[in-house]
Amino acid sequence: MANFRTHLGVASVGGAVVAQAGWQAGQWTGWQALAVALLVAFGGILPDIDADQSQAIRLIFNILAVVAVVLAVLVLQHRVTPAYLFVACGGVYVGVRYLAGALFARFTVHRGLWHSLLAAGVSGLSTAAISFSLLGQPERLAWIHGLAMTLGFVIHLTLDELYSVDLTGARLKRSFGTALKLFSWQAPGSALMLALVSAHLLSWLPSFAALRQLIAQGMALWH
């Protein structure tokens, strides 16, 4: 399978290309293009959140912990005193960085549920929901953020499948088909849980009319 540097490098290049193309086409501003590039790059390593003791999982949970702290500040800053806010943010960081990391290591297996198109979709929907409902971004931009995350995720899965093909020996490795799949057949309960998470996100998401319009605009650029 592709290693951490390959995943991060390819996703970063892909994100830069997409961000630059959208900026030149007038789809977003320069600062928004930077966010798109970063989200694609992050999505490119996110599936390895289930890889115990890897460089990727340490980086992922460090980033998620910082994001969680920022969100906690945005939600709590006008509701609690600075002292309580400091304590709460510290608790959020420790909880996400260490507790959540330990739980993932305990209950997930590499190339399991998180190496699936279902997980890619849930990650994209979660990103769009956070962007729209918590960060107050416009509907169109929130969907752009969600699609950027999903794109990076799919790039990761595709790379894993490409690296499962042994071109020199003209054969498929045992890992072929374990990444770019709809969901994990070995863990139907976990897949159902992710599907329920997706349903719960519906009330937090921007309108699907904005998503359809965004997709139509994107397709028009190719003609």
Q: Is the sign of the CA dihedral 38, 43, 44, 48 positive or negative?
A: positive
Q: What is the pLDDT of residue 168?
A: 44
Using an 8 Å Cβ cutoff, are 183 and 121 in contact? no
Of residues 177 and 101, more confidently modeled? 101
Amino acid at 143: W
Helical segments of the chain, H only: 4-24, 30-43, 55-76, 82-94, 101-107, 117-129, 139-162, 188-200, 208-221
Query: For the ranges 6-10, 11-15, 171-175, which has the lowest average pLDDT?
Result: 171-175
Is it the case that residue 205 has pLDDT exceeding 80? yes
Question: DSSP assignment, residue 165?
Answer: E
Q: What does 19-54 look like in DSSP terms, one character per residue? A: HHHHHHTTSS-HHHHHHHHHHHHHHTTGGGGGSTT-
Tell me the two tokens of residue 146: 């969600």
Using an 8 Å Cβ cutoff, are 110 and 52 in contact? yes
Q: How confident is the model at residue 166 (pLDDT cuts 50, 70, 90)?
A: very low
Stated pTM of the model: 0.84
Give percent of the chain with pLDDT exceeding 90. 45
pLDDT tens digits for 149-164? 999 999 999 988 887 6
